[in-house]
Structure 1
């Protein structure tokens, strides 16, 4: 199964989004404690500067300074005598522990890091140390009993410390002296540094608040992360749909093009690369459609050419076969009678004369056939051209009728000519005369005992139509279709009798088609009627 590019893009975006959110959560969980640890360093250093300044100028106000540190920053401050390790000032419980020696653990820390304390500072996390021996009783930072946070003015060496009136007033620290037992349950951040006025300042920050804040921050970050993952996934789905829709549309159009369907086009709405790709696909579709249509037309024309060449080849073969057959009979007759004359098989002058007449008659038929074949060959050649002129076809009909009147009188044929007006046409005079002669000769040869022939001319819309009808035998449906083919004879015995070649009506067809006219034959009640039609010449 092929996965949609829309699904792939959605999955990839969701995976990347999930990776970054989960990585952010893991980094936050892993390093937020360390971040708080280093972040409090600057706070503690600022507090050291304040304590150092006040301890040097007004040590009597240290209780207020320590109260500020505890209440506002959550820091426990202790000043220790550097020689005796005795507590001098402490931010919790007033001076209750003043004069007490600090716990051995802190003494060891100070001894082990004295160079660092003197030159820079000691800043580490210490695991649950008690400040003094026994249980330490300290006021927790930001105790509810401590009241509102105090504001400590920034120390300015150029101003007298007396400018800070709160330092001169006795602080109401009775609330700070309430005894609350707080065991050291967690680690503490320890800062130790020498003061400029001597002695050592130790600042402690319980990690309980820090870890609790970190826990809440992590929980919030996880919740926000999953919410953002959901919203990001939804945005990725919408984004993938919007981005991939034109690509999917173009894919469907390309598939239609591969199936040679060019009806659908891409609706270009942007001017970016996707829009350019859509324009290119539309252009390819149009060009392929045009090319395929041209190829289809060319293929149809090629098929027609092949079919026409095949038909011509078949016609040529049929024509050669028919010519050979038609010439074979008179040649055989001529040969037989000529051999008879050579062998003196006849003993009288009368028979010799008859043989000679037969030979001459068959030679005339052969000459007529050869002339017609030459005429057909010429008309079907590429060099043949009609020599058109304007003439009155009614006059032409009268001239041809005059030529055949003697033959009709000999055969007792009654001729009716309906020709009482002028009909001008623009055509090849000699070829139209040939058409009329073939029609009239065909009517004379096929007239029955009623011996009636009718010739008439009529207007048919914008055309002129000439009819030649004779009484006689009607044509079958097959004869009606095939009578216009070369060498076709509906009555072979009769054709042989009057010397017909089967080429007359084929010649008529060729001439009329060259004139872009029409022709045909119709069975009438008492015979057959042939006709042809040519365009009128209205300006003549």
Structure 2
């Protein structure tokens, strides 16, 4: 019922308009038709009289009589001709007038007498005018009644109930058909629009015309497409927001875990230093040898300082304000610089470093970060390889377009697959005793991970037949 309310409203309005219009037409005919007809009839009678008088002046009476007969028949009028004495010379009807016989041969009345007054006829047109013929000057009397239009008006009033029934039936039927025709596309569009309002975009509005309805259909279809696309974009944005929030929570959790581990890493050497200092203060047992324990405490402070520097470096990488200092770097020169700096550590363990690097290979990235990460990888390869082994460093053009690959392999060693899965976590060490003499702080590879992610570099560590392989894939430039 709600959807068809416009149909009923339009039906009622149209019906009232048609009925009112029909009533106005009827009242107009009833009140103004007699006056209009009377004026029209009067003008027609006057015009005919003028023409008849004009034509008769060139004719004798006998030849002019057909003009008078024709006028009388055409206008349903009565015509008389009489002389100055009032004697009727001619009458337009063929019957007797007050007992006087009419001559059919001449059309002139025999035994004529004075004219009877014609103004006795009710609601009629009467006129007396002189008329001239070739053989006489007479007076023309014309009398015409308006009675037929009065009778028509009366008949129209009697016919009103029948006209009203016909008008109501035709008006209501026409209004119903018209309202159905006009509102059908509106109801159809409204039904489809309601589905769109309920976020059901499975059906489109069929465009059935090129008028405003068609334009409205196209506009609603465009609105549906835009709304559907906006909802999809919003869903994607919400999904991305959820994903970002999950990542942020994960990062925050890792940050808390990281600082918890940092606190633990700092607490242990501080506790050791506190014990040493108390022993030296109270000169307990071996702590009387202050020089030895001062040296040990100094080494502990250096280790803690290095740990703090590494933590600060990690913190800088995680800051949103951190910006890369990009420049073109020749990889052959970079690797040569790193191996020269690490040559002392390699010579201590009699480890041979073998390089295969193309001199023309260059990348556009942050030199300080890349050098720090590569130095850390090569240093780990040296430190965790047995004496007399080899470290291979190979830099080649990757099969992937616009990328360069660096491979660092240290021989004579293997890493458990379980350790490889956790080796990039902060403070994770394969050597569980966490002795500083057998390993670092456990932040080295975590720093490498953070650095490579900042430089959009992919990396992996795997066991091979030769030993442990660290594979790095560097883009030629950072977009």
- Shared fold (TM-score greater than 0.5)? yes
- Structure 2 residue corresponding to 1:359, chosen from 271, 281, 297: 297
Residue 113 of structure 2: aligned partner: none
Distance 1:353 1:421 in 2: 48
Contact 1:87 1:99 (8 Å CA) reproduced: no
Distance 1:496 1:354 in 2: 18
Residue 98 of structure 1: aligned partner: 99
Distance 2:41 2:94 in 1: 24
Q: CA deviation at 1:331?
A: 0.7
**Map of 1:82-481 to 2, 5 A cutoff?**
92=93, 94-95=95-96, 97-98=98-99, 124-125=122-123, 157=132, 160-161=134-135, 203=143, 205=145, 207=147, 211=151, 237=178, 313-346=252-285, 355-356=293-294, 358-380=296-318, 382=321, 385-386=324-325, 388=327, 389-392=329-332, 393-396=334-337, 398-409=339-350, 415=351, 417-423=353-359, 424-426=361-363, 431-443=369-381, 446=384, 452=389, 454-459=391-396, 460-461=398-399, 462-470=403-411, 471-476=413-418, 479-481=419-421
TM-score by length of 1: 0.56
Residue 72 of structure 1: aligned partner: 74
Cα offsets for 1:482-510 (capped at 9, x unmatched): 43233344553256663532210122123
User: Given the superposition, is the C-alpha separation of residues 29 and 489 from structure 1 closer, same or farther in structure 2, using an over 3 Å criterion?
Assistant: farther
Contact 1:75 1:205 (8 Å CA) reproduced: yes
User: Given the superposition, is the C-alpha separation of residues 528 and 406 from structure 1 closer, same or farther in structure 2, using an over 3 Å criterion?
Assistant: same
Residue 137 of structure 1: aligned partner: none
Instruction: Report the secondary structure of 2:427's partner residue.
Output: coil
Instruction: Report the secondary structure of 2:98's partner residue.
Output: coil
User: Given the superposition, is the C-alpha separation of residues 160 and 324 from structure 1 closer, same or farther in structure 2, using an over 3 Å criterion?
Assistant: same
Contact 2:287 2:293 (8 Å CA) reproduced: no
Q: Which has the larger radius of gyration?
A: 1
Instruction: Report the secondary structure of 2:433's partner residue.
Output: helix
In the alignment, structure 1 segments of 5+ residues that lack a partner are 101-110, 127-153, 164-194, 410-414
Q: Tell whether 2:463 aligns with 1:523.
A: yes
Distance 1:348 1:294 in 2: 70
Residue 112 of structure 2: aligned partner: none
Q: CA deviation at 1:328?
A: 0.5
Cα offsets for 1:239-296 (capped at 9, x unmatched): 975x9979997997899699698x99999x99x9999999999999999999999999
Contact 1:63 1:94 (8 Å CA) reproduced: no
Q: CA deviation at 1:366?
A: 1.4
Residue 532 of structure 1: aligned partner: 472
In the alignment, structure 2 segments of 5+ residues that lack a partner are 102-115
Cα offsets for 1:283-313 (capped at 9, x unmatched): 9999999999999999888778766765655
Instruction: Report the secondary structure of 2:408's partner residue.
Output: strand
TM-score by length of 2: 0.62
User: Given the superposition, is the C-alpha separation of residues 246 and 488 from structure 1 closer, same or farther in structure 2, using an over 3 Å criterion?
Assistant: farther
Instruction: Report the secondary structure of 2:349's partner residue.
Output: helix
Instruction: Report the secondary structure of 2:417's partner residue.
Output: coil
Distance 1:276 1:431 in 2: 61
Instruction: Report the secondary structure of 2:330's partner residue.
Output: strand
Distance 1:36 1:391 in 2: 114
Contact 2:414 2:468 (8 Å CA) reproduced: yes
Contact 1:6 1:240 (8 Å CA) reproduced: no
Distance 2:222 2:250 in 1: 41
Contact 2:10 2:179 (8 Å CA) reproduced: no
Q: CA deviation at 1:463?
A: 0.6
Distance 1:387 1:87 in 2: 133
Contact 1:485 1:506 (8 Å CA) reproduced: yes
Distance 1:41 1:315 in 2: 112
User: Given the superposition, is the C-alpha separation of residues 69 and 474 from structure 1 closer, same or farther in structure 2, using an over 3 Å criterion?
Assistant: same
Q: CA deviation at 1:469?
A: 3.6
User: Given the superposition, is the C-alpha separation of residues 436 and 202 from structure 1 closer, same or farther in structure 2, using an over 3 Å criterion?
Assistant: closer
Distance 1:536 1:202 in 2: 120
Instruction: Report the secondary structure of 2:445's partner residue.
Output: helix
Distance 2:295 2:28 in 1: 129
Contact 1:254 1:281 (8 Å CA) reproduced: no
CA RMSD between the two structures: 6.3
Residue 492 of structure 1: aligned partner: 432
Instruction: Report the secondary structure of 1:508's partner residue.
Output: helix
Distance 1:239 1:390 in 2: 82
Distance 1:46 1:526 in 2: 132
